[in-house]
């Protein structure tokens, strides 16, 4: 049921009053009327952000829960303390129907949907995994991963998946794109904007690449002892160096 603006305002005002009364009764350690009002306002804002009305979902869309784009994995993180974000996603869009009518293949239409879902989630400050997207469109995570990788390699852009933004898994496509942009002379701010990464993350990739590139003629065991990088990470950068042979002359 749609809630009009006036009713919503009254409900939120009543909720703030109830929160302040609760503080006065059970949380007397919180002192000061201004502090109480600010606390109540923050709680109401949190409720507003976390809950979406069903009528905000358009035809062809679904409600989903994604992981907040800034909530990166760290020691002690688990399903109970990860920040989740409610989002609406276009399961079926007009472009899907148009592509079907124009004779595009199922694989081409599926790629369009995969790209759209990752981007729509990111625009709402959330990240989806390959498993999320696979469940939404009814294919395996492997299929999602394969088509996302093919899209990124062909278009030279980084899709904002949980794997690329939080640097999870063993995928190297986003690293490859970042290093390619770096080799082409792009500066860190531009690379960060193009690839949906922070400038700190871009600089981290570049520094790691430069270290491995400097030692590329050494054995991986020696590179590991000098850089402290994992063998897998070293191999991923060596593979990138092999793909871009000009790195030996430009760095």
Q: Which residues of 125-143 are buried (b: 16+ CB within 10 A; e: fewer)?
A: bbbbbbebbbebeebeeeb
Asked if residues 158 and 164 have their Cβ atoms less than 8 Å apart, the reply is: yes
pLDDT at 164: 86
Residue 66: what are its φ and ψ, rounded to 5°?
A: -115, 165
Give every residue of the chain whose pLDDT is below 70, as ranges: 1-5, 7-8, 49-56, 74-80, 169-172, 245-251
Structural tokens at position 25: 């009764």
Predicted TM-score (pTM) of the model is 0.67
Distance, CA of 186 to chain centre: 23
d(CA 96, CA 202): 34
- Ordered by start, the domain boundaries in the chain are 1-51, 172-250
Burial class (CB in 10 A: 0-12, 13-18, 19+), 160: buried
pLDDT at 30: 83
pLDDT at 250: 46
pLDDT at 50: 63
In three-state secondary structure terms, 86 is: strand
Query: Which segments of the chain does DSSP mark as H helices, in order?
Result: 5-26, 33-50, 94-101, 106-123, 130-137, 141-155, 162-165, 173-183, 188-195, 199-214, 220-227, 231-243, 247-250
Stated as kind and residue range, the H or E segment containing 68 is strand 61-68
Structural tokens at position 212: 């491995």
pLDDT at 1: 47
91 Cβ partners below 8 Å, 6+ apart? 60, 61, 62, 113, 136, 137
In three-state secondary structure terms, 71 is: coil
Q: Which residue has the tokens 């679904």?
A: 62
For residue 164, give the nearest of 204, 189, 190, 129 by alpha carbon: 129
């Amino acid at each position: 049921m749609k809630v009009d603006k006036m009713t919503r305002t009254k409900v939120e005002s009543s909720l703030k009053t109830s929160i302040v009364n609760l503080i006065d009764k059970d949380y007397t350690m919180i002192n000061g009327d201004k502090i109480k009002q600010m606390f109540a306002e923050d709680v109401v804002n949190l409720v507003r952000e976390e809950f979406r009305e069903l009528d905000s979902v358009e035809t062809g869309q679904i409600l989903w829960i994604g992981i907040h784009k800034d909530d990166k994995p760290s020691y002690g993180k688990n399903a109970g303390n990860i920040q989740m974000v409610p989002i609406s996603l276009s399961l079926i869009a007009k472009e899907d129907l148009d592509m079907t009518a124009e004779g595009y293949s199922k694989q081409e239409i599926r790629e369009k949907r995969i790209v759209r879902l990752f981007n729509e989630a990111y625009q709402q400050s959330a990240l989806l995994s390959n498993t999320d997207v696979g469940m939404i469109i009814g294919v395996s995570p492997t299929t999602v991963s394969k088509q996302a990788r093919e899209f990124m390699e062909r278009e030279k852009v980084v899709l904002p998946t949980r794997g690329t933004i939080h640097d999870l898994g063993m995928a190297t496509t986003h690293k490859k794109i970042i290093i390619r942009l770096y080799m082409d002379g792009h500066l860190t701010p531009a690379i960060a904007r193009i690839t949906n990464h922070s400038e700190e993350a871009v600089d981290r990739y570049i520094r790691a690449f430069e270290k491995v590139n400097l030692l590329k003629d050494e054995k991986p065991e020696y590179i590991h002892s000098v850089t402290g990088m994992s063998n897998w990470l070293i191999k991923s950068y060596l593979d990138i160096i092999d793909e871009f042979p000009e790195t030996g002359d430009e760095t």
